[in-house]
Structure 1
């Protein structure tokens, strides 16, 4: 097992109730299977009492962190830390270093993510100190987060909208997390917005005729993803994805391996009619991806697909998926030359129309958008979206050790 230097092991004896000393706190790098199992179970021990929290599938978290399976590790590096007190895991953190991001932006930053902590500044600060030390040893001079590897993966700390559960591939956390991060000296870098569609005024019906006029005027054809041409379709989407986001704050281009990994994850949940490509002259200029809210189905499983080796959770999941009645649009991309032509509205409206009138969805989230992406935010509001959650990314300079 790899241990942190003695100076990184946090020991404190702050007086608690009745003057009793709190047990020493140990921050250690995850290096054994036992510690990995502890790491993936930390969220349940902290957030398990929150009715809005959705337990992630433990096997998926382990795969996400596995250097042999996740393509991020082909170019980047990462590690994880546990906070232990009195034999119990009381916090965790992921820290990552993406050379592609730093090369793209000529910066020197690392990221932290998968942050969890009991409501104790000593625990949170110990984890963040360990992450900063790891980045410092790699020559990085600042840290951003929560970001799980890069902005292409789950990001952000929930700061507004705690009264509703997170949608598929989105985070959830207690309100006190922002206080813990800010007390360590982290400052706001950027806010991210989530939008909710319930269509109370039947906006889809009102806009349907306009959407068709948009399609005719723009010369755009919107079609569903061709699952039988998977690899070629993925390449078309990747070209739009990387080509459309170059001006977006924090965006780092996805490698072919990362996008294929992402696409295969999506394919397990996707409904082809909700993965749309926009083409002009038979060339892809935009696309959108909307998924059924997997979290609706997975919440009762408590993170497990098997019980005593039997696929009981998987059976329950298979039965529940067709009953899901909400969705999340997680990708909406257009190449620069095709914006302000109504194509974004068309993709949103086609999605809402099919989701509401064919599948029977009662609501959908579109997320996330940058707080200062005024064009897309105004577009979403125009077609009936209401902002209902805010996530925040923080940043801080980390000084070299003397």
Structure 2
């Protein structure tokens, strides 16, 4: 007897959104490297009232049912800021999670595509969860280790099912793992141990001027990344939201800023790997999750961290630009070691961003995860 057809329905209420958020917890049962995200964080991230991404984007969430069983989910996004900037008619899909069934994944993608076409979109790329400045790409290599803070983890069958639905690789992004217990290579150490150029200072984040420093960081970030594939600059409300969200977990000793004659020219943000602390909480902070989380972060400590944001201002003197990333990374590395960290993930890096890849690979890092963006013309 044939299995009942899939029924794809948009999420229209709080109960549906709760089902949407909780589905991966079932689909990843038995996967030892999946980290259950905090339910509270997921609800905030997908809330139009709380995530400023929705201020410049139209988003639709879909659930897939087979009979009375929930079997899949997907989102479709039209980022008006991205369309205005790139003028390429591209919309996005994201948050794809589904049972291992080619027809199911095809049905979910078809639902997203039809919705996007109704908004004038001519090409779809994804997954973005929800934007290029959040979780980007689908894991295609590196399933044998858990993801770090704000990085995704997908079932290994999913990329093949997306390709079977007519999608092809659009771009890969890489995650590098850096064992900070080893000093920088001799050639790098010789470069950064020279006297600093006149007017250049490298310092930690100043929590007394936290908001001002975060605005300076995002100003450099928006300028440094302008022109990179798929990039959309952070706006004022997103900067404020990021500053508020990160403040509870930021350690100023792990955030470094380079200034030339008082003007910010480079930065690096290193964050404790929250995933290391929440892996066994099942997504819940109550009744004792908060206490466990705080103890692990503040007392016991975690051993891993991630650098999600880094940038160097464009147009700097030829001799200055190459040394700044190493100075920033060395500052973060030295303080991280004092705090008990052992490994830092540097991610994500575009596969064709060769200047940054050369810098990271010069440290003796290993490229240990690959995330893929898939595309399809509509």
Would you say same fold, with TM above 0.5? yes
- Give, in angstroms, the shift of residue 341 of structure 1: 3.1
Cα distance in 2, alignment partners of residues 84 and 26 from structure 1? 5
Give aligned pairs, total.
373
Cα distance in 1, alignment partners of residues 84 and 252 from structure 2? 35
- Give, in angstroms, the shift of residue 199 of structure 1: 4.0
After TM superposition, list the pairs within 5 Å mapping 1:171-186 onto structure 2: 171-186=152-167
1:289 to 269, 274, 280: 269
Aligned to 1:12: none
Q: 1:376 to 1:131 in 2, by over 3 A?
A: same
- Structure 1: where are the runs of 5+ without partners? 1-19
Hey, which bits of structure 1, 4+ residues long, moved more than 6 A?
none
Aligned to 1:252: 232
Could you say what secondary structure the match of 1:217 adopts?
A: coil
- Structure 2: where are the runs of 5+ without partners? none
- Give, in angstroms, the shift of residue 149 of structure 1: 3.0
Which structure is higher in RCO with an 8 Å CA cutoff and minimum separation 6?
Answer: 2
Root-mean-square deviation over aligned CA pairs: 1.6
Aligned to 1:10: none
Aligned to 2:172: 191
After TM superposition, list the pairs within 5 Å mapping 1:86-235 onto structure 2: 86-199=67-180, 201-203=182-184, 210-213=191-194, 216-217=196-197, 219-235=199-215
CA contact (8 A) 2:180 2:344 kept: no
Cα distance in 1, alignment partners of residues 198 and 173 from structure 2? 30
Aligned to 1:354: 335
What's the CA shift string for 1:226-247, capped at 9, x where partnerless? 2221222222112111111112
Cα distance in 1, alignment partners of residues 295 and 110 from structure 2? 44
Q: 1:315 to 1:297 in 2, by over 3 A?
A: same
TM-score, structure 2 as length reference: 0.95
Q: 1:94 to 1:218 in 2, by over 3 A?
A: farther
The answer to which structure has the higher helix fraction is 1
Cα distance in 1, alignment partners of residues 96 and 77 from structure 2? 12
CA contact (8 A) 1:154 1:169 kept: yes
TM-score, structure 1 as length reference: 0.89
